Chain A
Amino acid sequence: MKISLVGNPNSGKTSIFNRLTGLNQKIGNFPGVTVDKKSGLLKTSKGSHHILDLPGTYSLYAKTQDEQIVYDILSDPTHADYPDRIIVVADASNLERNLLLFTQVMDLGLPVILALNMSDIAAKKGVVIDYEKLSEVLGGVKIVPVNARTGQGMDQLIAETVSEDSNIPGSSFIEGEFEKGHFLITDPHRQKQLVEERYRKINNILKFVVRQEPTKRSMLKRQRMADKIITHPLLGFVLFLGVLMVIFQAIYAWAEWPMDLIDTLFLSLSQWVINNLPEGVLTSLIAEGIIPGLGGVLIFIPQITLLFAFIFILEESGYMARVVFIMDKIMRPFGLNGRSVVPLISGVACAIPAIMATRTIENWKERLITIMVTPLMSCSARLPVYTLLIALVIPNQTIGPFKLQGLALLAMYLIGLLGALLAAFVFKWIIKAKQKSFLVMELPYYRMPRWNNLAITLWEKVRLFVFDAGKVIFSISIILWVLASYGPGDRIQQAVDKIPEPVTQEDVNAYEKKVASVSLSNSYIGILGHAMEPAIRPLGYNWQIGIALITSFAAREVFVGSMATIYSVGENFEADETLIQRMRKEQNPETGKPVYNLASGLSLMVFYAFAMQCMSTLAVVLRETKKWKWPLLQLIYMTAMAYLAALITYQILK
């Protein structure tokens, strides 16, 4: 049996879905659109049933792409997902608005059950519902009061849903608007009139069905009080800033050790393979291609998990809607909306979870702009690059109480933010809007997050990333490995043969570093680095930097490791000759001046601030937009922006 779950956003529909299916869930796509299809299996003693969690909607008349899915499925009996049964989840504390959708679904003439959720909140508001009478006036539909938080009423809901009774409503609520498989009204004006008519009829019914008990209204009072503080012109922003700092700190600090752990684990795994498998191409592929490739995917899991745990808490508690509310006006001039704030800020930690978090933006144009500009925010992977270059070219001086190097780092973050806002402003004019920007949004009640949904939500996000974006990241890692390990013919071997063999045991280490350096600069990537030197010379770079630019496409921080390999020094800065010392010595063969000076160093930092040097982000953008067009456009515009900005920086300062 195919069962569809329909309901308003914030009605607890997803909680009910989780209760019904447990971990038997999968996420796919509805063909042709960027809407996730959440489906699962309900296992009962009599067999299993397919449950489809349709996107939340307030009405069958769609306003967004997500809502259109609900319309498309319920109006088309030939649709593969056309249901045999519908469960409408409604918020009992806000019956009028929730019954609008229910009565529309009811008029489709399909077997339908009304699950009345959140009766606890209704009770706190003093709302007493006569379920029998409600069922009677709705043509005898089955009504099951449930509490998704405690699981109360779920057994009854399941029993009623899978029962043999047809559960088809005895009569239509409003005649002539919907019919099984047909939506009869297409004129928007008439649709609106019918919605109003429904509301008036619902309003009349509720007068008989719902009794308002006198309460102190303390619950509403507390809610209003919280809103006064949280949306206060000063306190509201201070609070939001505080929340951001906690999230930011957590992603930076708490994600560090599991990331280091994953890193170490995969490094030792590679080492183990090298030590224990026979030397050869296959071993090399496993140790230097496959294992680091997998590690490169899994390394993002801690940050994704943490960010989504925070977003889950913000969303579930009702706070997120208030953030959107207070930030909307500020974001609007840039073609963004209040919902863009969290992805943008999260981008400072890592663009990957940030881009995944843009799902909460309903307006496609605003979501797309947010996706396109988020990678300009300076993510944590840029930090090693900035740290190295700042130490290299910014003098260790103080200006007043501030260290010049610290100010330079701050400036890099500001440049990223300004770049993102500027790009958003430009995209506002380029991307065509499919729908007018609007913000008509429910501010749900503040409440405790439902913790049992947290694990399922996190598992869902991690799985999406690992299996969807992970495939692309993994493939590109392997390609990069091949290009960095092989050169045309025996070019690498010939170059390595020219290095004098180590004489003493002490020389072996230096010899191995030299071999690695020569191998890389004679590989395909090395050749590419040499070949692009004319293009990057105006930016103040040499071919060594060219190579590092290509290898760090896997991840920006690879820049540091690649520079270390190229200059045949260890990555360990405590070693005798550090990478910084070695880079300082590097001279331009034509001018005899140092290669890494203020001009080229800053130019390189600016380049890294803007360039799309992250294939993982591109893979996630592809996943989220479902079209190659957007990640490619992003790669092109960010590279162009980086090149121009670096060119200007170098040419002014040199």
Chain B
Amino acid sequence: MTLDSLKLNQQVTIQSITENGLTSKLTDMGLYPGKSVSVIFKAPFGDPIAVDIDGYTLSLRKEEASLVEVQIG
């Protein structure tokens, strides 16, 4: 399951991030394997999405979120 397909407020743990030119940007912003995150709200057309990381809000496009493999819990 990837980060772009989650329901709101579903707590998940990041498993891995698919390698792509953007991977390192996502990692810099605090998305790394083992981190617990949740999608907290979405833009009007469902894209981009906003993710909660320890109380800070990161927004990213669905395309970018689809690189992040997550597991519920």
Contacts and interface: CB of A to CB of B under 8 A. Distances in A.
Interface of A: 58-59, 61, 63, 93-94, 96-97, 100, 125, 188-189, 191-192, 195-196, 199-200, 220, 224, 227-228, 231-233, 236-237, 321, 325-326, 328-330, 435-436, 438-443
A518 to B, nearest CB: 61
A535 to B, nearest CB: 46
23 contacts: A58-B28, A63-B25, A94-B54, A94-B56, A96-B54, A97-B56, A192-B24, A195-B28, A200-B32, A200-B34, A224-B41, A227-B41, A227-B50, A321-B59, A328-B61, A329-B48, A435-B21, A440-B61, A440-B64, A441-B58, A442-B29, A442-B58, A443-B59
A443 B39 CA distance: 13
Given A94-B55, A191-B24, A328-B48, 18 more contacts: A63-B25, A192-B19, A192-B27, A195-B28, A195-B32, A196-B27, A199-B32, A224-B40, A227-B41, A233-B44, A328-B47, A436-B22, A439-B60, A439-B64, A440-B22, A440-B29, A440-B59, A442-B58
Given A58-B28, A61-B24, A192-B27, A439 B59 contact: yes
Contacts of A233: 44-45
Contact of A195 (B27, B53, B58): B27
A65 to B, nearest CB: 14
Contacts of A325: 43, 48, 50, 59
Contact of B24 (A125, A188, A200, A326): A188
A436 B27 contact: no
A61 B29 CA distance: 12
B41 A440 contact: no
A329 B27 CA distance: 23
Nearest to B50: A443
Contacts of B25: 63, 438, 440
List the 4 closest pairs (A to B, CB-CB), nearest first. A59-B28, A233-B44, A443-B57, A97-B30
A233 B42 CA distance: 9
Contacts of B40: 224, 227
Contacts of A189: 19
B9 to A, nearest CB: 10
A233 B41 CA distance: 11
B44 A196 contact: no
Contacts of B50: 227, 231, 325, 443
A236 B45 CA distance: 12
A329 B32 contact: no
Contacts of A440: 22, 25-26, 29, 58-61, 64
B44 to A, nearest CB: 4
A255 B24 CA distance: 45
Contacts of A438: 22, 25, 60-61, 64
A440 B64 CA distance: 8
Contacts of A442: 29, 56-59
Nearest to B58: A442
A61 B34 contact: no
A189, A195, A440, A443 — which one has the most chain B CB atoms within 10 A of its CB?
A440
- Interface SS of chain A: helix, strand, loop or mixed? helix
B23, B34, B40, B61 — which one has the most chain A CB atoms within 10 A of its CB?
B61
Nearest to B62: A329
A231 B41 CA distance: 8
A329 B61 CA distance: 9
A7 to B, nearest CB: 14
Nearest to A330: B45
A228 B44 CA distance: 11
Contacts of A94: 54-56
Contacts of B29: 58, 97, 440, 442
B43 to A, nearest CB: 5
B45 to A, nearest CB: 5
B24, B42, B60 — which one has the most chain A CB atoms within 10 A of its CB?
B24
Contacts of B43: 231, 325-326, 328-329
A443 B56 CA distance: 8
A199 B58 CA distance: 17
Contacts of B30: 96-97, 100, 199
A438 B56 CA distance: 19
A61 B23 CA distance: 12
Nearest to B31: A440
Contacts of B55: 93-94, 125, 220
A435 B24 CA distance: 14
B33 A100 contact: no
Nearest to B35: A199
Contacts of A435: 21
B47 A329 contact: yes
B20 to A, nearest CB: 9
Given A94-B56, A321-B59, A325-B50, A228 B22 contact: no
B21, B44, B45, B64 — which one has the most chain A CB atoms within 10 A of its CB?
B44
B56 A192 contact: no
Given A58-B29, A441-B58, A443-B57, A192 B23 contact: yes
B22 A196 contact: no
A329 B45 CA distance: 7
B31 to A, nearest CB: 9
B14 to A, nearest CB: 10
B65 to A, nearest CB: 9
A61 B25 CA distance: 9
A49 B47 CA distance: 46
A105 to B, nearest CB: 14
B56 to A, nearest CB: 5
Contacts of B59: 321, 325, 439-443
A326 B55 CA distance: 21
B49 to A, nearest CB: 9
Nearest to A197: B32
Contacts of A97: 29-30, 53, 56
Nearest to B20: A436
A436 B24 CA distance: 13
